[in-house]
Structure 1
Amino acid sequence: MPSKKPFTFFIIQHAHIDIGYTERQEVITEYQTQFVEQAVDLALSPEQLSRDDNAKFKFMLEGFWAVEKYLSKTGSSGRAKLVEALKSGNIELTAFYLHLTELLDEGHLRDTLKPSIKFAREEGIPLVSAMSCDVNGFSWGMVDALYDAGVKYLSTNINTHHGGCPFGKPNVPFYWESPQGNRILVWQGLQYHKANLLGIMPGYNLVGNPMIPGLSVEDIHKYVDVQDIGYAEKSLFPLVEGLRNDGYEYGFLPIMGSGLYTDNSPPTDSYCELIRQWNQKHGDQIELRTATLAEYFAYLESAVLDIPIYRGDWNDWWTDGVISTALETSLFRNAQRTKRVAERLDPEREYVTDEEWKSVISALVLYAEHTWGHSASLHRPYDFRVQQLLLRKTKYAVEADELACIALDKVLAGKGQGDFTARRIFIYKVMNPSIEARMSLAYLSLDYWESPIFEQEVRVVDLQGRQYPFERVNHSLRGQELCIQLQMEPLEERELKLEFLIVTDESHKAEAESAIGVAKGMGCFENDLLRVEWDDKKGVHTLIHKPSEKSLLVDGASGLGAPLYQLFEGANRWEPAGFGYKSRKIPKGEVFHGQIKRITNTGSNSFYETWEFEYDIRGAHSYAIEYKFYRSGSRFDMSVRLNKENILDPDGMYTAFPFQTEQGFWYLDKAGAAIRPCIDQLPNACCDYYSIQSGASLVGNDLGISITTLDAPMVHIGKLRLWDYTEQIEPTGPLYSWLTNNKWDTNFKASSGGFYEFRYTIDVNQAYNDYATAIRACQENNYDFLAIRY
Structure 2
Amino acid sequence: MKQTFLWQIGVADGDYREFALSGRHTEYLRLFPDDVQFRVGQSDPGRNWSYIHPGPADIWAGSRQHPFRILFPLNEVPEGVCRFTLHLVNTHYSVPPLLEVRINDRYSCRFRLPAGGNDASLTDPKAGRRYTLSFLFSRNHLQVGENVITLTVLEGSWLLYDALALEAGLTLPELPNVTDLTAETTMLFRRVSGDLKQAVRVRLNNTGLEGEVEAGVEGIGNSTQRITLKPGENAFYLLIPPLERPQKLRLFLRTAGKEWNTEFEGRPERQWKVFVAPSSHTDIGYTDWQERVFQRHNENTLLACRVCDENPHFKWNLEVAYQAFLFRQKYPLVFRQKLAPRIREGRIGLQGLYLNMLTGLCSGEEMVRVVTRAQTLARSCGLGAVQAANLTDVPTSVGTLPMFLAQAGVRYFAEAVNLYHAPVFSHADPRLAQSPFWWEGLDGSRVLAILTNSYGYVRRLSLTGTLEEVEAQILPYLREFAGRDYPCDAVYAYGGFFDNEPLDPRYAEVIAQWNSRWEYPQIVLCTVDEFFRYVEKGFSKRLPVFRGDFGVYWEDGAASTAHETALVRWAKRKLETAEQWLALANLHLPAHTFPIGDIHNAWEEVIFFDEHTWGAWCSVSEPESEQTKHQWEFKAAYARRAAEKAESLERRAQQRLCSLAQTRTTAPPSSAQVVVVWNEFSWHRDIAAEVTLSDATRPWRIREARTGRLLPVQRRGNRLLFLAEQVPPVGYASFLLEPGEPPSASPLLRRGGDEWTWEGAGLRLRFDPGTGAVVSLRRGSSGKEWVNTQSGYGLNQFLYVLGGEGTRLMHPHLAEPRFEVFTHNRASIEVVENGSLCAVLHLRRSGQNLPPLDTWVVVWRDGRLEFLNVLHKEATLAKEAGYFAFPFLFAAPKGIRGFVEQPYGILQVEAEQLPGGCREWYTTHSFAALSDGRYTAHLATPHAPLVTFNDFFKGLWRGKLEALNGSVFAYVFNNYWDTNYKASQGGDLVFGFSLNLLEGDFDPAVATHFGWERLAEMSDPRRPAYGQARQANIQTRLPAPPAQSLLQVSSPDGVVMVGGVTREDDRLLIRLYNTGRKHTRARLAFGRWTPREARQADLAGRLQKNLPLHPAGVDVTVPGRRVVTLAMR
Distance 2:673 2:273 in 1: 76
Displacement of 1:668: 0.5
User: What CA deviation, in whole Å up to 9, does each residue of 1:243-266 have, x standing for no partner?
Assistant: 54577675442223435xx41122
Aligned position for 2:315: 58
Aligned position for 1:330: 566
Confirm or deny: 8 A CA contact 1:668 1:692 kept in the other structure: yes
Distance 2:702 2:929 in 1: 37
**Would the alpha carbon gap of residues 414 and 250 (structure 1) be closer, same or farther in structure 2, given more than 3 Å must change?**
closer
Distance 1:540 1:739 in 2: 19
Distance 1:82 1:458 in 2: 66
Instruction: Provide the secondary structure at the position in 2 that maps to 1:160.
Output: coil
Q: 346-355 or 176-185: which moved more? A: 346-355
Of 978, 982, 985, 1:749 maps to 982
Of 29, 36, 39, 2:304 maps to 39
**Would the alpha carbon gap of residues 495 and 672 (structure 1) be closer, same or farther in structure 2, given more than 3 Å must change?**
closer
User: What CA deviation, in whole Å up to 9, does each residue of 1:75-94 have, x standing for no partner?
Assistant: 24422322321233322111
Aligned position for 2:290: 25
Confirm or deny: 8 A CA contact 1:458 1:500 kept in the other structure: yes
Distance 1:4 1:621 in 2: 63
Confirm or deny: 8 A CA contact 1:14 1:60 kept in the other structure: yes
**Would the alpha carbon gap of residues 484 and 156 (structure 1) be closer, same or farther in structure 2, given more than 3 Å must change?**
same
What is the one-letter code of the residue matched to 2:778?
A: I
**Would the alpha carbon gap of residues 42 and 488 (structure 1) be closer, same or farther in structure 2, given more than 3 Å must change?**
same
**Is residue 417 of structure 2 the alignment partner of residue 161 of structure 1?**
no
Instruction: Provide the secondary structure at the position in 2 that maps to 1:531.
Output: strand
**Is residue 526 of structure 2 the alignment partner of residue 294 of structure 1?**
no
Distance 2:753 2:326 in 1: 60
Displacement of 1:65: 0.8
**Would the alpha carbon gap of residues 349 and 80 (structure 1) be closer, same or farther in structure 2, given more than 3 Å must change?**
farther
Distance 1:325 1:164 in 2: 24
Equivalent runs, 1:247-326 vs 2, <5 Å: 251-259=489-497, 262-281=498-517, 283-284=518-519, 286-301=521-536, 302-303=538-539, 305-326=541-562
Aligned position for 1:789: 1034
Distance 1:672 1:326 in 2: 23
Aligned position for 2:369: 111
Instruction: Provide the secondary structure at the position in 2 that maps to 1:594.
Output: coil
Instruction: Provide the secondary structure at the position in 1 that maps to 2:646.
Output: helix
Of 339, 342, 357, 1:100 maps to 357
Equivalent runs, 1:635-646 vs 2, <5 Å: 635-646=864-875
Of 382, 385, 388, 2:630 maps to 388
Instruction: Provide the secondary structure at the position in 1 that maps to 2:1016.
Output: coil
User: What CA deviation, in whole Å up to 9, does each residue of 1:240-298 have, x standing for no partner?
Assistant: 44554577675442223435xx41122222012322333344x2553333222222112
**Which structure is higher in strand share?**
2
Displacement of 1:344: 4.2
Of 337, 347, 356, 1:80 maps to 337
Distance 2:705 2:1008 in 1: 36
Confirm or deny: 8 A CA contact 2:898 2:909 kept in the other structure: yes
What is the one-letter code of the residue matched to 2:559?
A: I
Distance 2:877 2:393 in 1: 25
Confirm or deny: 8 A CA contact 1:616 1:623 kept in the other structure: yes
Aligned position for 2:798: 563
What is the one-letter code of the residue matched to 1:114?
A: T
Aligned position for 1:219: none
Q: 181-190 or 454-463: which moved more? A: 454-463
Displacement of 1:494: 3.3
Q: CA RMSD in A?
A: 3.1
Q: Which has the higher contact order (CA 8 A, sep 6+)?
A: 1
**Would the alpha carbon gap of residues 425 and 382 (structure 1) be closer, same or farther in structure 2, given more than 3 Å must change?**
farther
Aligned position for 2:711: 468
Aligned position for 1:435: 682
**Would the alpha carbon gap of residues 43 and 463 (structure 1) be closer, same or farther in structure 2, given more than 3 Å must change?**
same
User: What CA deviation, in whole Å up to 9, does each residue of 1:637-666 have, x standing for no partner?
Assistant: 111110123121221101011123343322
Confirm or deny: 8 A CA contact 1:655 1:739 kept in the other structure: yes
Aligned position for 1:717: 949
Aligned position for 1:183: 446
**Is residue 834 of structure 2 the alignment partner of residue 604 of structure 1?**
yes
**Would the alpha carbon gap of residues 723 and 80 (structure 1) be closer, same or farther in structure 2, given more than 3 Å must change?**
farther
**Would the alpha carbon gap of residues 466 and 5 (structure 1) be closer, same or farther in structure 2, given more than 3 Å must change?**
closer
**Would the alpha carbon gap of residues 177 and 237 (structure 1) be closer, same or farther in structure 2, given more than 3 Å must change?**
closer
Q: 29-38 or 404-413: which moved more? A: 29-38
Aligned position for 2:908: 676
Distance 1:786 1:297 in 2: 52
Instruction: Provide the secondary structure at the position in 2 that maps to 1:338.
Output: helix
Confirm or deny: 8 A CA contact 2:400 2:443 kept in the other structure: no
Equivalent runs, 1:534-683 vs 2, <5 Å: 534-537=767-770, 539-557=773-791, 558-569=793-804, 571-572=805-806, 583-617=813-847, 620-630=850-860, 632-661=861-890, 662=892, 663-683=895-915
Q: 160-169 or 383-392: which moved more? A: 160-169
Instruction: Provide the secondary structure at the position in 1 that maps to 2:572.
Output: helix
Confirm or deny: 8 A CA contact 1:704 1:774 kept in the other structure: no
Instruction: Provide the secondary structure at the position in 2 that maps to 1:370.
Output: coil
Instruction: Provide the secondary structure at the position in 2 that maps to 1:710.
Output: coil
Instruction: Name the % identity.
Output: 23
Instruction: Provide the secondary structure at the position in 2 that maps to 1:11.
Output: strand
Distance 2:754 2:867 in 1: 21
Equivalent runs, 1:494-573 vs 2, <5 Å: 494-500=733-739, 522-528=756-762, 530-537=763-770, 539-557=773-791, 558-569=793-804, 571-572=805-806
What is the one-letter code of the residue matched to 2:373?
A: P
Of 392, 412, 417, 1:133 maps to 392
Confirm or deny: 8 A CA contact 1:521 1:535 kept in the other structure: no
Displacement of 1:417: 8.7
What is the one-letter code of the residue matched to 2:874?
A: E
What is the one-letter code of the residue matched to 1:484?
A: F
Distance 1:414 1:124 in 2: 37
Distance 1:593 1:168 in 2: 40
Flag structure 1 segments of 5+ consecutive residues without an equivalent: 49-55, 203-226, 419-423, 475-479
Instruction: Provide the secondary structure at the position in 2 that maps to 1:316.
Output: coil
Distance 1:238 1:142 in 2: 33
**Would the alpha carbon gap of residues 491 and 126 (structure 1) be closer, same or farther in structure 2, given more than 3 Å must change?**
closer
Aligned position for 1:67: 324
Flag structure 2 segments of 5+ consecutive residues without an equivalent: 1-186, 188-243, 245-267, 587-591, 661-670, 1018-1029, 1036-1129
Aligned position for 2:935: 703
Instruction: Provide the secondary structure at the position in 2 that maps to 1:124.
Output: coil
Instruction: Provide the secondary structure at the position in 2 that maps to 1:565.
Output: strand
What is the one-letter code of the residue matched to 1:66?
A: Q
Displacement of 1:165: 2.7
**Would the alpha carbon gap of residues 710 and 257 (structure 1) be closer, same or farther in structure 2, given more than 3 Å must change?**
closer
Displacement of 1:191: 0.9
What is the one-letter code of the residue matched to 1:434?
A: F
**Would the alpha carbon gap of residues 300 and 515 (structure 1) be closer, same or farther in structure 2, given more than 3 Å must change?**
closer
Confirm or deny: 8 A CA contact 1:469 1:484 kept in the other structure: yes
**Would the alpha carbon gap of residues 5 and 244 (structure 1) be closer, same or farther in structure 2, given more than 3 Å must change?**
closer
Instruction: Provide the secondary structure at the position in 2 that maps to 1:678.
Output: coil
Displacement of 1:749: 0.7
Equivalent runs, 1:438-453 vs 2, <5 Å: 438-446=685-693, 453=695
Of 718, 723, 738, 2:971 maps to 738
What is the one-letter code of the residue matched to 1:300?
A: V
Aligned position for 2:407: 148
- Number of corresponding residues: 725
Distance 1:585 1:242 in 2: 29
Aligned position for 2:616: 374
Please report the TM-score for the alignment, with normalisation by the length of structure 2.
0.61
Distance 2:701 2:345 in 1: 74
Displacement of 1:789: 3.4
Aligned position for 2:1003: 770
Instruction: Provide the secondary structure at the position in 2 that maps to 1:621.
Output: coil
Of 333, 351, 358, 2:600 maps to 358
